[in-house]
Structure 1
Amino acid sequence: MSVGDEDGEPLSPMARVFQSPGTSCCIITMIGCKIKINADVILSGLNHNVSKHPRFSSKLSDDGLSWVKTKVNIEDHVFIVDMDSNEIGEDGESYVEGYVTRLTMLPLDKSKPLWDIHILNVKTSDAEAVCVIRSHHSLGDGSSLMSLLVACTQKTSNGNTASTTPVLTRRKIVPNEKTSWFLRSVLEVFSSVRLIWNTFVDILMALAIALFLKDTKTHLKGDMSIQSNPKKFCHRIVSLDDIRLIKEVMNMTINDVLLGVTQAAISRYLNNMPGNIRLTACVLVNLRPDTGIQPLADMTAKDSKCRWGNYFSSIYFPLYTGSETNPLVYLSKAKSNMDRSKNSLLAALIYSSTKLVFNIFGAKAGAILVERLFLNTTTVISNMIGPMDEISFHGHPIAYIAPSVYGHSHGLTLHFLSYAEKMVISIGVDSTAIPSPHKLCDAIEDSLKDTKAALLERGSVKAPSLKDVYMSLQKKLGRKKEQ
Structure 2
Amino acid sequence: MDQQFYEEVQEPVSPPGQYFNSSVICSYVFGFLEMAVPIDDSQTIPLLKDVFLPINPRFSSIMVRDQDGRMKWKRVQVKPEEHVKVPKFPECNSPELYDQYFGDYVTRILTERTPQNKPLWEIHIINYPTSNAAGTLIFKLHHALGDGYSLMGALLSCLQRSDDPSLPLTFPSRTSSNSQQAKKSMFKKLPSFISSFFNSMSDFGSSLIKTRMIVDDKTPLRSGYEGTVSMPFTLSHISLYIDNIKAIKSKLGVTINDVITGLIFYGIRLYMQEIDRMARKANSTCVVMLNTRNVRGYQSVKEMQKSKVKGLWGNKISFLQVPIPKLGQSKISNPLEFIWNARKQIKKKRRSFSVYLIGLLLDLEMKIRGPEAVAKIIYKTLRNSSVVISNLFGPMEQMTLANHPISGLYFTMTGGPENVDITIMSYVKVIRITLRTLKGFVDEQKFKFCIEKAYDVMFKAAMEISETPNKN
- Calculate the TM-score normalised by the size of structure 2: 0.90
Q: Helix, strand or coil: the match of 1:91?
A: helix
Letter in 2 for 1:172: N
Equivalent pair of 1:7/1:69 in contact (CA under 8 Å): no
Equivalent in 116, 123, 126 of residue 117 of structure 1? 123
Shift of residue 176, structure 1, vs aligned partner: 9.6
User: What is aligned with 1:477?
Assistant: none
In 2, Cα distance between the equivalents of 1:160 and 1:394? 14
Q: Please name the residue that 2:384 is paired with.
A: 376
Partner of 2:31, secondary structure, is strand
Q: For residues 276 and 83 of structure 1, what CA distance do their matches in structure 2 show? A: 44
Distance 1:194 1:325, change over 3 A: closer
Which of residues 56, 61, 65 is equivalent to 1:58? 61
Shift of 1:94: 1.9
Please state how far the C-alpha of 1:148 moved relative to its aligned partner.
0.4
Q: How does 1:66-81 map to 2 (within 5 A)?
A: 66-81=72-87
**Whole-Å separation in 2 of the counterparts to 1:249 and 1:167:** 19
Residue equivalent to 2:428: 420
Measure, in 2, the Cα distance between the counterparts of 1:458 and 1:169: 25
Partner of residue 211, structure 2 = 210
Contact 2:248–2:463 (CA<8 Å) still a contact in 1?
Answer: no
2:164 to 158, 164, 188: 158
Which has the larger displacement, 343-352 or 5-14? Answer: 5-14
Task: Give structure 1 stretches of 5+ with no counterpart.
Answer: 467-483
Counterpart secondary structure, 1:424:
strand
Contact 1:379/1:410, CA 8 A, preserved across alignment: yes
State the partner residue of 1:170. Answer: 176
| TM-superposed deviation, 1:457 | 2.3
Query: Alpha carbons of 1:452 and 1:54: their partners in 2 closer, same or farther (altered >3 Å)?
Result: same
1:122-162 Cα shifts (integer Å, max 9, x gaps): 22222111111111100000111011012100001123433
Among 342, 345, 352, the residue aligned to 1:334 = 342
Aligned residue number for residue 273 of structure 1: 277
1:195 matched to which residue of 2?
196
Aligned amino acid, residue 369 of structure 1: I
Partner of 2:263: 261
CA distance in 2, matches of 1:251, 1:70: 52
1:147/1:296 contact within 8 Å kept: yes
> Whole-Å Cα distance in 2 between the matches of residues 327 and 439 of structure 1?
19
User: In the alignment, which of 353, 356, 365 is matched to residue 357 of structure 1?
Assistant: 365
Is it true that 1:390 corresponds to 2:393 in the alignment?
no
Deviation of 1:325 after TM superposition, in Å, equals 5.5
**Distance change (3 Å), C-alpha of 1:62 and 1:357:** closer
Does 1:438 pair with 2:439?
no
Q: Check 1:349–1:432 CA distance in 2 against 1; reply closer, same or farther (3 A cut).
A: farther
The Cα of 1:300 is off from its aligned counterpart by 4.0
User: Could you give the per-residue CA deviations for residues 220-261 of structure 1, whole angstroms, max 9, x where no partner exists?
Assistant: 114111112122122222101111111111111111111100
SS at structure 2 position matched to 1:330? helix
Aligned to 2:458: 451
- The match for 2:221 is 220
1:79-120 deviation line (CA, Å, top 9, x unaligned): 113546418763322221110111123210111110001111
> Hey, what's the Cα distance between the residues in 2 that align with 1:273 and 1:280?
18
In 1, Cα distance between equivalents of 2:197 and 2:51: 46
Tell me which residue corresponds to 1:310.
315
For residue 481 of structure 1, what is the aligned residue in structure 2? none
Partner deviation per Cα, 1:390-437 (whole Å, 9 max, x = no partner): 111101111111111111111000111111111011111222432x32
Q: Distance in 2 between matches of 1:423 and 1:304?
A: 30
Which consecutive unaligned segments of at least 5 residues does structure 2 have? 1-6
Find the partner of 1:138 among 129, 138, 144: 144
TM-score scaled by length of structure 1: 0.88
Counterpart AA for 2:284: L
In structure 2, the CA distance between the partners of 1:291 and 1:262, relative to structure 1 (3 Å rule), is farther
State whether residues 266 and 321 of structure 1, in contact with CA within 8 Å, keep that contact through their aligned partners in structure 2.
no
Change (3 A) 1:239 1:167: closer
Instruction: Read off the aligned partner of 1:273 and give its amino acid letter.
Output: R
- Cα separation, 2, equivalents of 1:110 and 1:321: 43
Most deviating of 226-235 and 11-20: 226-235
Q: Distance in 2 between matches of 1:38 and 1:84?
A: 20
